[in-house]
């Protein structure tokens, strides 16, 4: 339910975006972007290493997505290759906000 709440508040090209959510007695279903490129772990295991330019690009996508989340008061807390999906154009999309938390900056 935490993930559903956060996904309903966030919309960004470098995040997995949720369009609908519904549930039955046992499950919660999230209708999200279709991202067919696989996760970053899969690609790393397949290729064994990325070029410096590719790495910079992936990191830039992550930083922009995380910056958006932080500007909206959300901390991800589970960034790892399995939670970074690649879309059909090679852009990295952050997913799995299950243990993410909302926060407000301390003004003191």
Secondary structure of the chain in the HEC alphabet?
CHHHHHHHHCCCCCECCEEEEEECCCCEEEEECCCCCCEHHHHHHHHCCCCHHHHHHHHHHHHHHHHHHHHCCEECCCCCHHHEEECCCCCEEECCCCCCEECCCCCC
CB-based contact 8:85 (threshold 8 Å): no
Annotated catalytic sites, by residue?
78
**In the chain, where the domains are located:** 2-19+37-97
| CATH H superfamily, domain 2-19+37-97 | Transferase(Phosphotransferase) domain 1 (1.10.510.10)
pLDDT of res. 26: 93
pLDDT in tens, 5-50: 888 889 999 999 999 999 999 998 999 999 999 999 999 999 999 9
Does the pLDDT at position 108 exceed 60?
no
pLDDT of res. 105: 67
């Amino acid at each position: 339910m935490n993930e559903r709440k956060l996904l309903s508040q966030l919309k960004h090209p470098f995040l997995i975006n949720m369009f609908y959510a519904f549930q039955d007695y046992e499950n919660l279903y999230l209708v999200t972007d279709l991202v067919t490129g696989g996760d970053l772990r899969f690609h790393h295991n397949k290729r064994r290493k990325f070029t410096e330019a590719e790495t910079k690009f992936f990191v830039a996508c992550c930083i922009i997505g995380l910056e958006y989340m932080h500007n909206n008061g959300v901390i991800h807390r589970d960034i790892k290759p399995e939670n970074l999906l690649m879309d059909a154009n090679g852009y990295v999309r952050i997913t799995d906000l299950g243990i993410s938390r909302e926060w407000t900056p301390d003004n003191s």
